[in-house]
Amino acid sequence: MGKLSTILITILMGFSLSNWAIASSAGGEGNKSVQPKSYANQRNTTGCLGCHGQLDYLRSVVKDAKDGYGHPVSAETVAQGLYVAPEFVNDRIHGRQSCEFCHGGDPKATDAKKAHAGMTKNPTADGGKKLCASCHQKTVDNFQNSIHFKMSGVKAKLTDRMGNTPHKADVVGKIMAEDCLNCHATCGTCHVGQAPVANAGLQKNHRFIRRPDNLQVCIPCHHLAGAGFFTQEKNLHVSVGMDCVSCHNTAQQFHGRGGAEEPQGMMTPGLIEASCHNCHQQVDKSNDAHSMHTDFVSCQACHGTEYESCISCHRRTPDAEHIFKLGMFNGKVYPFVHTTGNISADMFAHMDIKLNQKDLEAKPTWAPYPTHFLQLTPKHKKGAEVMCENCHGNPELFLKDEDLTFPNLEKGFVMKAPAALSAKELDKYKKTRK
């Protein structure tokens, strides 16, 4: 629950459960029992539910908050994020144990501060080894070195960015431990609560969710890959009812595939199995444009649209820097986004880490982006009569030398725009479109 637990503890400090029970019995509406009668599971009679089992009470003591990105979180969301519903307590599998069995604390204490002393906010912070492995041993074993738990992709990119920074491994380790790993996924942050950055506590009042809610679980961390994913004007797939797990639907993409840590994170070959061709199996031969371009043009190059980048959160440069450009990547035309703007040596100053600007200029700031923002026939060029004109004869769409932040690192991405269509070709494709 992250900051929410701290907020609640502060608000409730000095407020005894016994005093609250007396006030309730005197006629307080909405808080009529310390142990709600609907909690039928006799094995879980913990005193924690005196507060966390009373939604109206939680509503009366919490306030509006903010998430890790500075976005507002309503008091109602805060209250829902602390509320434990009867459906969980009555769950014969996960609800049969007391709250303190997983979270610790003192359920008999009548003072909020004492009740929460020694409490474990995230009991699965070890990747489920202590609790989840008793039933889900194989999944937990695979998860220990997964990209969600280890954040190996972030670590690899950060290590590259540090360039020639002295004691780079130590610097990266400190940043990962004190910053990045605050967002790493555990069993609980996907199947029970949300990532701490969301600052919204539990997903569905502590009920265990087999298929996590995409907006509550995936998007708070994968903010850039999916912030606009769930808007139909930015994503063709959403308009037909698809979500994150429609494409990312195999266990190894979430829980890992066992063995050693994935060295490149999501870019490790074979790990991410989502592909356009999983659904569009005959697309390469479905029309003349696909047949002509399939060997050297990525799907995203034609069907991609503007994409938010890292600066959406890190604010290194103005929002106007969200630029869509085409370049060359792994032998194919691919869309690129300017990922980090002007790298700043003080980006980790709040952690007392001093960096040298030149040492950071060791990784491209232009990078290819994935397939999350897609349209059927996007218009990249104003006045284009056919889709071909978006690329052909449109040099403004392609990366040029003057666009590059670090030319020595990024020059391989640059490519020349294809020639404009002749009048005959243009006429032919106009007829095809009709």
Is residue 263 in a domain? Answer: yes
CA 177 to chain CA centroid, Å, is 18
Question: What is the CB neighbour count within 10 angstroms for residue 163?
Answer: 16
Whether residue 68 sits in one domain with residue 40: yes
pLDDT value of residue 44: 66
Contact 88, 95 (CB under 8 A): yes
Could you tell me the pTM of the whole model? 0.76
Cβ neighbours for 422, distance < 8 A, ≥ 6 positions apart = none
36-55 burial code (b ≥16 CB/10 A, e <16)? beebebeebebbbbbbbbbb
Minimal CA–CA distance to 365: which of 396, 344, 350? 344
Q: Residue 237: pLDDT above 90?
A: no
Minimal CA–CA distance to 395: which of 311, 292, 321, 326? 326
**β-pair partners for 335:** 326
- The 10s digit of each residue's pLDDT in 143-163 is 999 999 999 998 998 999 999
Is residue 425 in a domain? Answer: yes
Burial class (CB in 10 A: 0-12, 13-18, 19+), 3: middle
Whether residue 190 sits in one domain with residue 87: no
- The amino acid occupying position 367 is A
Whether residue 218 sits in one domain with residue 302: no
pLDDT value of residue 395: 92
Is residue 238 in a domain? Answer: no
Is residue 211 in a domain? Answer: yes
Whether residue 205 sits in one domain with residue 319: no
pLDDT value of residue 116: 93
Minimal CA–CA distance to 227: which of 26, 71, 380, 56? 71
- The 10s digit of each residue's pLDDT in 293-305 is 989 999 988 888 7
Whether residue 350 sits in one domain with residue 400: yes
The highest-confidence range among 75-84, 210-219, 233-242, by mean pLDDT, is: 75-84
Is residue 101 in a domain? Answer: yes
- The 10s digit of each residue's pLDDT in 248-260 is 999 999 999 999 9
278 — alpha (psi -120 to 50), left (phi > 0) or beta? alpha
Whether residue 369 sits in one domain with residue 286: yes
pLDDT value of residue 32: 37
Instruction: Give the separation between CA 74 and CA 66, rounded to whole angstroms.
Output: 8
Contact 122, 188 (CB under 8 A): yes
Instruction: Give the separation between CA 420 and CA 398, rounded to whole angstroms.
Output: 14
Residue ending a domain, among 97, 121, 145, is 121
pLDDT value of residue 199: 82
Domain that holds residue 11: 3-121
Is residue 343 in a domain? Answer: yes
Comparing 187 with 382, the larger pLDDT belongs to: 187
What is the separation, in whole angstroms, between the first and last Cα of the chain? 55
CA 100 to chain CA centroid, Å, is 29
Instruction: Give the separation between CA 148 and CA 181, rounded to whole angstroms.
Output: 10
Instruction: Give the separation between CA 367 and CA 334, rounded to whole angstroms.
Output: 9
Whether residue 41 sits in one domain with residue 27: yes
Is residue 239 in a domain? Answer: no
Q: Residue 311: pLDDT above 60?
A: no
Whether residue 311 sits in one domain with residue 269: no
Minimal CA–CA distance to 186: which of 137, 125, 257, 262? 125
Whether residue 336 sits in one domain with residue 308: yes
Is residue 420 in a domain? Answer: yes
Whether residue 11 sits in one domain with residue 77: yes
Residue ending a domain, among 121, 139, 170, is 121
Comparing 95 with 410, the larger pLDDT belongs to: 410
Q: Residue 40: pLDDT above 60?
A: no
pLDDT value of residue 96: 82
Whether residue 292 sits in one domain with residue 258: no
pLDDT value of residue 137: 97
pLDDT value of residue 227: 52
Residue ending a domain, among 90, 121, 152, is 121
Total domains in the chain come to 3
Q: 419 pLDDT band (50/70/90 cuts)?
A: very high
353-383 burial code (b ≥16 CB/10 A, e <16)? bebeeebbbbbbbbbbbebbbbeeebebbee
Q: Residue 307: pLDDT above 80?
A: no
- The 10s digit of each residue's pLDDT in 356-395 is 999 988 988 888 877 777 877 766 777 788 888 888 999 9
Q: Residue 342: pLDDT above 70?
A: no
pLDDT value of residue 143: 96
pLDDT value of residue 218: 86
pLDDT value of residue 415: 93
Whether residue 400 sits in one domain with residue 352: yes
Cα distances (Å, whole numbers) of residue 365 to 180, 192, 277, 411, 417:
19, 36, 29, 12, 21
Q: Average pLDDT of the chain?
A: 81
